Chain A
Amino acid sequence: MSKATLDGKAIPLQDACREAARILGGATFPVIAGLGADVAGARAAILLAEQLRGAFDHLASREILADLDVMRSFSMFTTTPNEARVRADVLLFVGPGLSALWPGMLERLAPGQPPRHGAQAGHPRRVFWIGPEANEAANIPATVIPASCDELSELLAMLRARVGGRPVAGDDARRTGIDELADVLKNAHFGVVVWSASSGIDPLAIEMLQAMVADLNVTTRCTGVPIGARAGAAGVTQTAGWMTGFPPRTGFGRGYPEHDPWRFEAKRLVESGEADAALWISAYDGEAPPWSNNDLPLITLSPAGKEPGRGLYIEVGKPGVTHDAVEFAQEIGSLALRKSHAPTGAPSVAQIIDAIATELRGEVSC
Chain B
Amino acid sequence: MLTVLRGGHVVDPANGRDAIGDVWFRDGHIVAPPPGGKADEEIDVSGHVVMAGAIDIHSHIAGGNVNTARLLLPELHRAIRARLAGTPLSTAKWSTFETGRLYAQMGFTTVVEPAMAPHASLQTHLELNDVPIIDKGALTVLGNDDFLLRMLRKGEAESAVNDYVALTVGNTRSLGLKCINPGGCEAFKENLRVFGLDDEVPFYGLTSRQIFQALQKSTQAVGIHHPLHLHMNNLGIAGNIDTAIDTIDAAQGLPLHLAHVQFYAYGKEGKNAFSSAGARFAEKINANPHVSVDVGQVMFSDTVTISSDVLKQFNSLPGGMPKKGAIFDGDANGGGVVPYAYKISNFYNAIQWAAGLELFLLINNPEQVYFTTDHPNGGPFTTYPDLFALLMSADLRARIMARLPAEALEHTILPSITREYTLYEIAQMSRSGAAKLFGFTDRGQLAPGAIADIAVYRPGKDIAGMFRRAAFVFKDGDLVVRDGAVTHYKRGRTLNIRPRYDSNITTRLDAYYDELYGLPRSIFDLPDAALPHNDAFAEVACRK
List chain A positions with a Cβ less than 8 A from chain B. Answer: 39-40, 43, 47, 50-51, 68, 71-80, 82-83, 85-87, 107, 110, 116-119, 121, 189-190, 217, 220-221, 223, 237-239, 241-247, 254-259, 324, 326, 329, 331-332, 334-337
Contacts and interface: CB of A to CB of B under 8 A. Distances in A.
Interface string B93-134: 111110000000000000000000001101100110010000
B529 A337 contact: yes
B536 to A, nearest CB: 13
A217 B314 CA distance: 9
Contact of B327 (A223, A245, A256, A337): A223
Contacts of A50: 88-89
B79 A257 contact: yes
Contact of B517 (A82, A221, A239): A82
B189 A118 contact: yes
Given A75-B324, A189-B190, A332-B523, A256 B529 contact: no
Nearest to B95: A245
Nearest to B523: A336
* Residue of B68, B74, B82 ringed by the most chain A CB atoms within 10 A: B74
Contacts of B82: 254-256
Contacts of A39: 126
B122 A336 contact: yes
A288 B527 CA distance: 34
B71 A241 contact: yes
Contacts of A329: 523
B122 A334 contact: yes
B83 interface: yes
Contacts of A223: 327, 329
Given A78-B329, A217-B327, A334-B122, 14 more contacts: A50-B89, A75-B317, A77-B326, A80-B330, A83-B189, A189-B191, A241-B71, A243-B95, A245-B77, A256-B80, A326-B530, A335-B123, A336-B523, A336-B524
Contact of B89 (A77, A117, A119, A244): A244
A256 B79 contact: yes
Nearest to B326: A76
Given A72-B72, A256-B80, A334-B120, A241 B329 contact: no
A72 to B, nearest CB: 6
Contact of B328 (A78, A86, A244, A258): A78
Interface string B509-525: 00000001111000111
A119 B201 CA distance: 12
Given A258-B78, A326-B530, A247 B519 contact: no
Given A79-B328, A189-B190, A238-B67, A259 B74 contact: yes
A18 B144 CA distance: 53
B184 interface: no
B37 interface: no
Contact of A334 (B96, B123, B525): B123
A244 B334 contact: no
